[in-house]
Amino acid sequence: MDRKEFLTAIGMGAASVAVFNCIGCSKSSTEGGPSTPAPTNADFTLDLSSSANLVLNTNGGYIYANGIIVARTTSGNYIAVSQTCRHENTNVIYRSTQNQFYCQRHGATYSDTGVSSGIETNLPLTKYNTQLIGTKLRIYS
């Protein structure tokens, strides 16, 4: 392989890596909004005595349900926001010690009410209401 062939091969390899990485970070025309929109007209109930939802009986616990992340704060309140990061279309997690939602893919943070910290996107997560009656937790728009 001569010098020209070598440089061409290196250039093509680098270009393919760059294209692959860019595809994984593609954004829509609305500032990177998720391809799956936040649920609208949400209204469902979680039974906190059900084994699938037991994590919500512990402060700091969270689950995903119907496109929404439902969390219990360290003070024991229930909060709910859309589960998809507005920049990367990746599920956010709840970090109870920081009282925030966090995208592990690129580090965007959102307050416990879904407000963006302004890193990567200014678009908020959709916030939902919660109502606890006995062991039933209602999440609704």
Give the pLDDT of the chain (141 residues) as one tens digit per residue.
Answer: 665 555 566 554 544 443 333 333 333 323 334 446 789 999 999 999 999 999 999 999 999 999 999 999 999 999 999 999 887 788 999 999 999 999 998 888 999 999 998 776 788 999 999 999 999 999 999
In a domain, 14, yes or no: no
In a domain, 34, yes or no: no
Amino acid at position 78, single letter: Y
In a domain, 82, yes or no: yes
Q: Which domain holds residue 64?
A: 39-140
pTM of the model: 0.74
Domain CATH for 109: 2.102.10.10
- Rounded CA-CA distance 128/86 in Å is 16
Select from 88, 123, 118 the least CA-distant residue to 103. Answer: 88
Select from 25, 22, 37 the least CA-distant residue to 87. Answer: 25
- Specify which residues 137 forms β-bridges with: 46, 132
In a domain, 109, yes or no: yes
What is the tally of structural domains in the chain? 1
In a domain, 12, yes or no: no
- Specify which residues 129 forms β-bridges with: 140
